[in-house]
Amino acid sequence: MQIHSNKALFVGNVPIDAKASCKAEKAVISHGHSDHVATNKVTEYVCTPETKAIIKSRYKKEGNFNSLKFNKKFSFGDSTISLHNSGHILGSAQVLVEGTKTVTVTNDFKTQDSIIQKGALPLKCDILVIESTFGQPCYSFPAREDVYQQIGNFVKEKTKQGFVVLAGYSLGKAQELTKVVNEYAGIAPLVHESVYDNNKVYESHGTKLGNFLKLDHNLHDSNVLIMPPSLVNHNMLQVLEFSLHKKIFSGMATGWNFRNGFNKIFPLSDHADFQQLMDYTKQAEPKLVVTMHGKERELASYMQRRLGITARPLSEKGQKTISEYA
């Protein structure tokens, strides 16, 4: 069974997160973030019902989608695939490919449970293709509940003094922030339109987020606003301060340790940290690990030295297929 990257991640004949230019008969979409969703009119796309709903709501894309619930099997040429919760965002999936070998592709994942989603469970396999966004020991995230408490305390303290802006990716992180502000600060936040639309998709699939209000010329209806990070900058915060006649405090939820003008950074990520990556691999018991995305070379090296498992980065020059990793 070959594993290579060319317009998609191919596991044998199964393309995962294909580019629009990949005209395969069928392809798997792992989850609804924009860098994983590119469709055309000829391919049949297999994804979870939740991912399908996100794609239709967020990107307004019509297409040939085949919904596959978690843990159900689907015939894919000479292979059989099944989708399993990856713990990343609503509907995000690990892909288990069963053919001549059993291959797990984690895609973006985390094993920590969050306030709105269960973490990923390891899938035993012969070959593990694992994301490596935070594939170095310096990336170690605290317990999620501790971060929630930090956010709640920050919001309660700063809303006594002014107005709080929280930044988090509009799909995934912002829904978690919506729930946290409700549960840990007792406040119904205002949310940007893009966050509101995604919140509604989450709720339509059974995820309770608490109360929230769509931002629509109603800044005085709450003392907390949740926004996508791309829209939060110095000028925007100044405009808010001028409009509200209040001091503005800002915080961002991210796994990356950079302040970038925010008063507070909260170490909250939808990706696995280094220890989660190592623990997942040990429990999956693969004979071979292929690392992809981010710290590929570093993680492969650590896995070989610490776990004694053959591991290679997918993007390493000259290595395109699984036979070349032997």
Digit-coded pLDDT (tens) for 2-18: 898 989 999 999 999 99
C-alpha 267: how far from chain center: 15
Residue limits of CATH 3.60.15.10 in the chain: 3-139+271-325
Residue 114 has pLDDT above 50, yes or no: yes
Average pLDDT over residues 87-110: 97
DSSP one-letter code for 43: P
Q: Which two tokens stand for residue 40?
A: 């055309």
Please give the Cα distance from 232 to 235 (Å, whole number): 8
Where is average pLDDT lowest: 47-61, 109-123, 221-235, 256-270?
256-270
Is residue 89 exposed (0-12), middle (13-18) or buried (19+ Cβ within 10 Å)? buried
> Which three-class secondary structure state does DSSP give residue 215?
coil
**188 — pLDDT class (breaks 50, 70, 90):** very high
pLDDT bin (cut points 50, 70, 90) of residue 258 is confident
Q: What's the confidence (pLDDT) of residue 61? A: 75
Pairing type for strands 213-214 and 190-191 reads parallel
Tens digits of residue pLDDT in 286-313:
999 999 999 999 999 999 999 999 999 9
- Region 188-217 average pLDDT: 98
**Which one-letter amino acid corresponds to residue 140?**
S
Q: With 90 as the cut, is the pLDDT of residue 210 above it?
A: yes
Greater pLDDT, 69 or 1: 69
Q: Cα–Cα distance between 311 and 241 in angstroms, integer?
A: 52
Q: Is the pLDDT of residue 199 over 60?
A: yes
The rounded percent of the chain whose pLDDT value lies above 90 is 90
Mean of all residue pLDDT scores within the chain: 94
pLDDT band at residue 320 using 50, 70 and 90 as cut-offs: very low
What integer pLDDT is reported at residue 319 of this predicted model? Answer: 43
Q: Which CATH superfamily is domain 3-139+271-325 in?
A: Ribonuclease Z/Hydroxyacylglutathione hydrolase-like (3.60.15.10)
Q: pLDDT band for position 197 (50/70/90)?
A: very high
pLDDT at 147: 98
CA angle 116, 117, 122 (to 5 degrees): 165
Q: Which residue, among 288, 289, 260, 287, has the nearest Cα to 277 in the 3D structure?
A: 289
Q: CA 173, CA 271: separation in Å to the nearest integer? A: 11
What would the mean pLDDT of 57-63 be, rounded to a whole number? 83
Q: Two tokens at 33?
A: 């973030």
In this prediction, residue 194 carries a pLDDT of 97
Give CA separation, 31 vs 69, 136, 211, 225, 296, in Å. 13, 24, 25, 26, 21
Quick one: average pLDDT of 208-222?
Answer: 97
For position 60, what pLDDT does the model report?
Answer: 84
CATH class of 144-267: alpha beta
Sequence ranges of the chain with CATH classification 3.40.50.12650 = 144-267
pLDDT, residue 322, reads: 42
3-state secondary structure (DSSP) of residue 271: coil
Identity of residue 99: G
